[in-house]
Amino acid sequence: MSPAAGGAPSPEVLRVGLTGGIATGKSVVAEAFREMGAFVLDADTLGHELMEPGTPAHGEIRAAFGDEVLSADGRIDRKKLGARIFADPAIRRRLNAILHPRILTEMEDRILEFARRSPGGVAVVQAALVVEAGVRSRFDRIVVTHCDPGTQARRLMERDGISGEEARRRISAQAEPRERLAAADYVIDTSGSLSETRARAGEVLTALRREWESRKASR
């Protein structure tokens, strides 16, 4: 249970971290969870909001990486920035140091707001770096999306319009799948069809809710 302002305990919700490698179907599963009534936050979306022009993060990113990562309207060009962070681990760590603390603070604020509206609900945070960033302890349960490497590379090539070599480079820049799978409470294999993935997502959310209700009832 997280402390609310003034030290009072906040209403409880089940906190679920939804993670997985790039192009393994996290967004599909997150949308299925949302349609089934879960509160879903996307860490990438929060990051984009937090680096809009005029924000502290925008200024720090510009100072750290230069005007070449800006688009014509002064916003951070995510494709330019993405190309640099996938090419250089030091740049990736620098960006993470700027964004991650702010994302975590915003995430906590929004989950607390949801908990006050819907105590006992399910809050899902979709984030690629739940395991790598060392924030596993912030969540009650971890759901990991996974698919076979060939499917992952093909999806990434089609999604981002990149070569097979670039797709493999981006995939290899992330943690080994076994690290995430070892941390998982539930695994959703997305190698099959969209309908199969959505059906498995429904099974997992149902299991999470059943487990959560049982835990609450036993207190």
Q: What is the pLDDT along the chain (219 residues), one digit of tens a residue?
A: 344 444 444 579 999 999 999 999 999 999 999 999 999 999 999 999 999 999 999 999 999 999 999 999 999 999 899 888 888 889 989 999 999 999 999 999 999 999 999 999 999 999 987 876 778 889 999 999 999 999 999 999 999 999 999 999 889 888 788 889 999 999 999 999 999 999 999 999 999 999 999 988 887
Global pTM value: 0.87
CB 167 within 8 A of CB 153: yes
Instruction: Provide the residue ranges of all domains of the chain, joining segments of one domain with +.
Output: 11-212
Q: Which CATH topology does 11-212 take?
A: Rossmann fold (3.40.50)
CB 98 within 8 A of CB 60: yes
